[in-house]
């Protein structure tokens, strides 16, 4: 697994669509993200199958439960062979530490390297207003994101998911080696779809983020392999 990389979001409805897409890649094996839709529809076999094809996998299930449940679930994800996975930082530092323990136990049992564990701070769909009014968090959303990132670091997590615009803030608070994984990547002039704050691959590179998650600019492109190569060239240089 590379230290910096482009992760393609496999936001497809089922295995058939996913495999149709992946079989276009004959010369390279992109790092891919499997989300809830595909995982809950197809089950863990989809992870094993894509892993067997040689791809690194970010399993995006955003766990949030009592610490022991999360630990046991993480152990099973480690046994599945995922390379990166995530949880909600809102589950507390204790839950995050248990999650790390689960991943470590699973990695030892499987004889694999431990998967990277990434925290979700505040979802980009949560506005500051809703966070304050409904969740009763009496802080600015940026302060909340930084505090959750600091908690994640304290628990031993490898990094957080954030918008490219928040990545600099997180790096300032948690240090350069604390990973940032950033969606919301678009080329200037392209359709932004439901994303609001977007950044180009080159700008994401300049900001210093570690992994970018790119979905539709690659999956809906006329030539997805060419689109993937362009994103890689612009982000990785
Ligand atoms: O198609 P697009 O490039 O917008 O896809 C971005 C991917 O990143 C999707 O899988 C989306 O669910 C995910 N994501 C996001 N914003 C977050 C967290 C995850 O867009 N804050």
Give the model confidence (pLDDT) of 66-86 as tens digits. Answer: 999 999 999 999 999 999 999
C-beta of residue 140 within 8 angstroms of C-beta of residue 169: no
227 lines ligand 1 (CB under 6 A): no
pLDDT of residue 193: 82
71 is catalytic: no
Tally of domains in the chain: 1
Does the structure show a pLDDT above 80 at 229?
yes
- Cα–ligand 1 centroid distance for 111 (angstroms): 31
9 lines ligand 1 (CB under 6 A): yes
Q: Which protein residue has the closest C-alpha to ligand 1 atom 18?
A: 183
Tens digits of per-residue pLDDT, 174-213?
A: 999 999 999 999 999 888 888 777 899 999 999 999 999 9
In this prediction the pTM is 0.96
The parent domain of residue 134 ranges over 5-236
- Cα–ligand 1 centroid distance for 226 (angstroms): 20
CATH of the domain at 142: 3.20.20.70
Of the candidates 29, 36, 31, which has an alpha carbon nearest to the alpha carbon of residue 13? Answer: 36
């Amino acid at each position: 697994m590379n230290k910096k990389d482009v992760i393609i979001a496999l936001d497809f409805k089922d295995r058939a669509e996913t495999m149709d897409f992946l079989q276009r890649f004959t010369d390279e094996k992109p790092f891919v993200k499997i989300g809830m839709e595909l995982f809950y529809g197809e089950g863990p076999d989809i992870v094993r199958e894509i892993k067997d094809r040689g791809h690194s996998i970010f399993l995006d299930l955003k766990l949030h439960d009592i610490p022991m449940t999360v630990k046991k679930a993480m152990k099973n994800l480690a046994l599945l062979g995922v390379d990166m996975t995530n949880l909600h930082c809102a589950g507390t530092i204790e839950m995050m530490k248990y999650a790390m323990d689960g991943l470590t136990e699973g990695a030892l049992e499987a004889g694999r390297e431990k998967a990277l564990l990434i925290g979700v701070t505040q979802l980009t769909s949560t506005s500051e207003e809703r966070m304050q009014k409904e969740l009763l968090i009496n802080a600015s959303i940026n302060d909340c994101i930084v505090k959750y990132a600091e908690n994640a670091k304290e628990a031993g997590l490898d990094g957080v998911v954030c918008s490219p615009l928040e990545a600099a803030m997180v790096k300032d608070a948690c240090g350069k080696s604390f990973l940032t994984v950033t969606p919301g990547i678009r080329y200037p002039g392209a359709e932004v779809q439901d994303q609001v704050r977007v950044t180009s691959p080159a700008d994401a590179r300049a900001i210093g983020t570690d992994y970018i998650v790119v979905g539709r600019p690659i999956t809906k492109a006329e030539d997805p392999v060419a689109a993937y190569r362009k994103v890689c060239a612009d982000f990785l240089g």
